[in-house]
Amino acid sequence: MSTAVSVKNKLGKPFLLVFFLPLFSVLSLFGCSGPSDERIREDFKQIFAKEVGASAQPIIMSVKPGEGDSDNVYQHVKFDLLAGENIAFKNGWLAGIRLNKGQKLYGGEVVALYQKKKEGWLAISYQLSRKPSQHP
């Protein structure tokens, strides 16, 4: 019984501080970093409308964070799109592509850079990293 007591005393408050304090610090960094999924989706819809137009609707397949730090993070938005009418894109990401109403394109990806500002997380730049195609 004296052995159990001595082990308990050795693993007392100093052990808890040394082990759990860094763990909580790391968890708090991951728990609070980056813009919300909802914010990213709303921003993407605005970006999509600007680049593609209103005649095609994005179908967001996933939103995942990439590299970043406490004040910057890249967000990867994978999407498909559905043509709401017959479309011949003349400008933007899909310039030169023609779609019939109901036709779908697959596998597009946009990477957006978010920076933490006083107002919150703002998308300051974006890039089409993978153009959607006719094949899933």
Q: Which pLDDT tens digit goes with each residue over 59-80?
A: 999 999 999 898 999 999 999 9
CB contact set of 107 (below 8 Å; sequence gap of 6+): 78, 80, 130, 132, 133, 135, 136
Is the confidence at residue 26, as pLDDT, over 60?
Answer: no
Q: What is the pLDDT of residues 76-92, one digit of tens each?
A: 999 999 999 999 998 88
134, 108 contact by CB (below 8 A): no
Read off the amino acid at residue 16: L
CB 76 within 8 A of CB 44: no
Domain ranges of the chain: 1-32, 34-130
Q: Which fold has domain 34-130?
A: Nuclear Transport Factor 2; Chain: A, (3.10.450)
- Asked if residue 20 has pLDDT above 70, the reply is no
Q: Is 47 in contact with 123 (CB distance < 8 Å)? A: yes
Which is nearest to 75 in space by CA: 110, 104, 100, 99?
A: 110
| Alpha helices per DSSP H over the chain | 2-10, 13-32, 37-52
